[in-house]
Amino acid sequence: MSRSTLTKFLLAAAVLSSANAYFLFGMNNVITTERIDPIVNPGKVSGHVHTVVGGSNFRVTTNTSFLRQSECTSSPIKEDKSNYWAPTLYFQWKNGSFTSVSGAPVMYYLFSDTPGVTTPFPDDFRMLSGTPTLRSYNASSYAQQAITFLCLDFSGTSTKHNELPTTDCPSGIRAQINFPSCWDGKNTDSPDHKSHVAFLSGGPDSGSCTDPAFPKTLPRIFMEMYLDTGSLHAQRSQAMNPSQPFVYAMGDPTGYGYHADFIMGWDKGVLDKVVDKCQCTSAAFGDPTCCSTAGVFTFKQGGTCRITKGVDEITTGTLRSLPGNNPVVPLNGQASNLVAPVTPALISPVFAYTGDSPSQTGQPVGPPVTVTPGGPASVPTSGSSAPSTGSSGSSEKASGSASSGTSSSGSTSSSKDSSPNPPANDSGSSPAKGSSSSSPATSVPNQGSAPATPPNKSAVVSGSSNHTCQKKKTSHSKRAHRARIHDSSRRRFSTPEERFLDNDF
């Protein structure tokens, strides 16, 4: 590891103001970008689009044992098949259309320097940090302090904000969120997915677990999402709101509704070793190879892990409206957790695939996995917390539209998928997609300069439409691609192959 890399790690970590042991790792890629949230909306299409990283068994319903069976993970730590997700960011044009902004996260795990103090996440542990409906800032709320936005300027000074910055950030925006790290010691979930955990005594990143109701210290997860807002720099004047053109998937132009979710998917026993044998502390500047050298886990960057779509809906590229038709609710407005009454079908089975290029050249790994959405399995059974998860699970499932959508999708897609061609490699990867796929997270932790060059979304939007239209022969990939760019009103995939191709950066 080069000196400049270490310096970068150190700078990145400075915002954490923590004396704890920690390590950080950039996700190799985003596994999917979809309206799925197995914590908040188990078994059905969720209210807004999320950018998802981690284990390939991410589904509308999932749990720790299922995640551990993932065929691959986008984490460079092979034993980490957890899922982490956050709302996807869009750029809104004057005419009201939205273009997705690419981004991928760097994850931090922070824990005590003293072995025995930090408790690893128990199986089926899950939690949510942040509140999607917030559109205002309460400076005394730890939960809101947990969310910050860095306006990145790698050749100048980066500035920290409590909301989406209203200036053009030369090197992009980094959305940052802390998860609570004090636990009640009993429940792996709670009805609001928050009240079984609490923030540290001094705020989201300082103090300790002093509240007797939350005595257990968990590893603290901190997520930095690098957003390629810079690629839309030239289009800023064409935005609906040129001073702050971005809108989160739940219709949030403020950033106060930013949030992130976590489901425990580490291989059995590995986190126990992490918290007790991985006290690499500041001498290693958060370098995870310290833990891999100690034999605690396997750290290997590179490669990709993706899954095919589980929801029949195009979520990236340029779209007429936010998926779910979420209205944009401005500062101090009243937002609700809308789930549109008509939701797209769920698709099953879902394939996991790996490969260094975008989806067209990916290789399917393992068998396709079908999960019965909305069935009994969708209620997370989590031992001691059964009452609370049970109640939230059943109320979520009460909606009739979700279950009807589910059953129809099940039958349609299983017939479509009975002869699943492997992810088509026929089309030759489009150059534009190729450029967009160079994962930001791969590069972020590798080289100090890398965060300045996340994937260039504008190349996808402007360059590739030209490319596809010049070709006479229309492959599935080209059709899917064109659909994203020219026909944002067509939201569904017309062939099973297309859902391999709406790739997620």
Ligand X SMILES: *[C@@H]1O[C@H](CO)[C@@H](O)[C@H](O)[C@H]1NC(C)=O
Q: How many CA atoms lie within 13 A of 493 on its CB side?
A: 30
Q: How far apart are CA 80 and CA 4, in angstroms?
A: 27
188 near ligand X, rule: CB under 6 A: no
95 near ligand X, rule: CB under 6 A: yes
313 within 8 A of 25, measured Cβ to Cβ: no
Which residue, 176 or 361, has its beta carbon nearer to ligand X? 361
Q: What is the phi/psi pair of residue 497, to 5°?
A: -65, -30
Buried b (16+ CB within 10 A) or exposed e, 104-120: bbbbbbbbbeeeeebbb
Q: Which stretch binds ligand X (CB under 6 A): 8-16, 304-312, 329-337, 462-470?
A: 462-470
Which one of residues 42, 43, 54, 230 is an interface residue with ligand X (CB under 6 A)?
230
361 near ligand X, rule: CB under 6 A: yes
Which residue, 303 or 463, has its beta carbon nearer to ligand X? 463
43 within 8 A of 74, measured Cβ to Cβ: no
| Per-residue tokens: 80 | 């980490």
- Pick left, alpha or beta for residue 363 (phi over 0 → left; psi -120 to 50 → alpha; otherwise beta): beta
Which residue, 254 or 292, has its beta carbon nearer to ligand X? 254
Which residue, 281 or 420, has its beta carbon nearer to ligand X? 420
Which residue, 88 or 360, has its beta carbon nearer to ligand X? 360
Q: How many chain residues interact with ligand X (CB under 6 A)?
A: 25
Shortest gap between Cβ of 503 and ligand X (angstroms)?
A: 16
Shortest gap between Cβ of 60 and ligand X (angstroms)?
A: 9
- Return the residues of window 363-392 that contact ligand X according to CB under 6 A: 371, 377, 381
| Nearest partner of 290 among 281, 270, 113, judged by Cα | 281
- Return the residues of window 29-58 that contact ligand X according to CB under 6 A: none
Shortest gap between Cβ of 320 and ligand X (angstroms)?
A: 5
Shortest gap between Cβ of 10 and ligand X (angstroms)?
A: 26
308 within 8 A of 331, measured Cβ to Cβ: no
Q: How far apart are CA 415 and CA 420, in angstroms?
A: 10
Q: Which stretch binds ligand X (CB under 6 A): 61-69, 79-87, 162-170, 255-263?
A: 61-69
| Type and span of the H or E element at 364 | strand 363-369
Q: Which stretch binds ligand X (CB under 6 A): 136-144, 190-198, 240-248, 495-503?
A: 136-144
Distances (CA, A) of 330 to 133, 255, 297: 11, 10, 44
Which residue, 143 or 274, has its beta carbon nearer to ligand X? 143
DSSP character string of 9-47: HHHHHHTT---SEEEEEE-S---EEEEE-TTTSTTSEEE
Residues in the chain: 505
Which residue, 216 or 320, has its beta carbon nearer to ligand X? 320
DSSP character string of 249-293: TTTBSSSTT-EEEEE--BPTTHHHHHHHH---TGGGTT-THHHHH
Which residue, 245 or 253, has its beta carbon nearer to ligand X? 245
Q: Which stretch binds ligand X (CB under 6 A): 92-100, 157-165, 203-211, 383-391?
A: 92-100
Q: How far apart are CA 73 and CA 442, in angstroms?
A: 13
| Amino acid, res. 55 | G
- Return the residues of window 295-354 that contact ligand X according to CB under 6 A: 318, 320
Which residue, 159 or 466, has its beta carbon nearer to ligand X? 466
425 near ligand X, rule: CB under 6 A: yes
Which one of residues 2, 4, 138, 411 is an interface residue with ligand X (CB under 6 A)?
138
Q: How far apart are CA 105 and CA 441, in angstroms?
A: 6
Shortest gap between Cβ of 454 and ligand X (angstroms)?
A: 8
Q: Which stretch binds ligand X (CB under 6 A): 11-19, 62-70, 283-291, 345-353?
A: 62-70
Which residue, 20 or 406, has its beta carbon nearer to ligand X? 406
Using CB under 6 A, list all residues that contact ligand X. 61, 63, 65-66, 93, 95, 97, 138, 140-141, 230-231, 318, 320, 361, 371, 377, 381, 425, 456, 458-459, 462-463, 466
